[in-house]
Amino acid sequence: MVPVKVAISGHPGSGKTSTLLRIAQMLSDEYSIGGFTTHPIKEEGYIVGYGLKNYTTELCDECAPKTQNDKTPTSHCEACGAYEQGIVASKNWDVKPRITVLHDEEPVNLGIQLSVVNKIATKSVKDAIENKDLIIVDEVGKLVSESPEFSEVLTEALDSGKPMILTIHKRSRNPLLQNIRKRDDLRTLEVTPINSAMLPSKVVSILKHGMV
């Protein structure tokens, strides 16, 4: 695999995570993959929080968080490993820092558990740097960039010489994201309704052969 960095950009709901997971699936037979994915938590169709999951982990049903009100927002069980999935942000948490995200053009104010960012996102990326062939980071932005530890390990991953796939918001002005966009070794591809079916194959070709 060629040690290139690919960023998949797009608006919220454009299919960035689905594209990332499809790419990982296409490469999983040949390469070990580590990192994390992000998923929205919804109630009655509205976003009320976000969760993180260590990509390498197979979770049992007992470990998966059932609600954003869970008082212990990370999974911890011998069958699945410690802190491999958890809720990182909720509108029902009275914690800081807080961020505002848009859902259907409406602002949603969320409290972030930085301990969850570090137990899942920071830990999984650090493990991928040390032990995996390919690093994946799903949704670089407000949710994780509030953690200095995560920002540091992400920079370490980008400088590690290992191939990497990130998903990023198309227009976010997040300082961490702006610094990533300036990198000469990063290839950015936007996912759209027109190219979503073919984009995974294109990224796989870039990672395998260095095609530009």
Q: Where are the chain's structural domains?
A: 5-209
- Asked if residue 140 lies in contact with residue 168, where contact means CB atoms within 8 angstroms, the answer is yes
Q: Domain 5-209 belongs to what topology?
A: Rossmann fold (3.40.50)
15-44 burial, b at 16+ Cβ within 10 Å, e below that, comes to: bbbebbebbbeebeeeeebbbbbbebbeee
Place of tokens 């994946």: 136
- Short-list 23, 2, 3, CA closest to 189: 23
- Helical spans, DSSP H, in the chain: 16-27, 114-116, 123-131, 142-145, 148-158, 175-181, 199-209
* Each residue's pLDDT tens digit, 69-87: 444 445 555 554 445 788 9
Task: Report the pLDDT averaged over residues 192-199.
Answer: 95
Closest CA to 124 of 148, 99, 150: 150
Contact in structure between 137 and 123 (CB atoms under 8 Å): no
The DSSP bridge partners found for residue 189 are 8
* pLDDT band with cut points at 50, 70 and 90 for residue 212: low
**Band of the pLDDT at 202, cuts 50, 70, 90?**
very high
Helices 123-131 & 148-158 angle (0-180, nearest 10): 20
Q: Which tens digits make up the pLDDT trace of 173-192?
A: 788 888 888 898 999 999 99
Task: Give the mean pLDDT of the chain.
Answer: 85
Average pLDDT of span 130-141: 94
Spatial separation of the C-alpha atoms in residues 115 and 83, rounded to whole Å: 10
pLDDT at 155 (0 to 100): 95
Least confident of 32-36, 41-45, 62-66, 119-123: 62-66
User: What pLDDT score was predicted for residue 169?
Assistant: 84
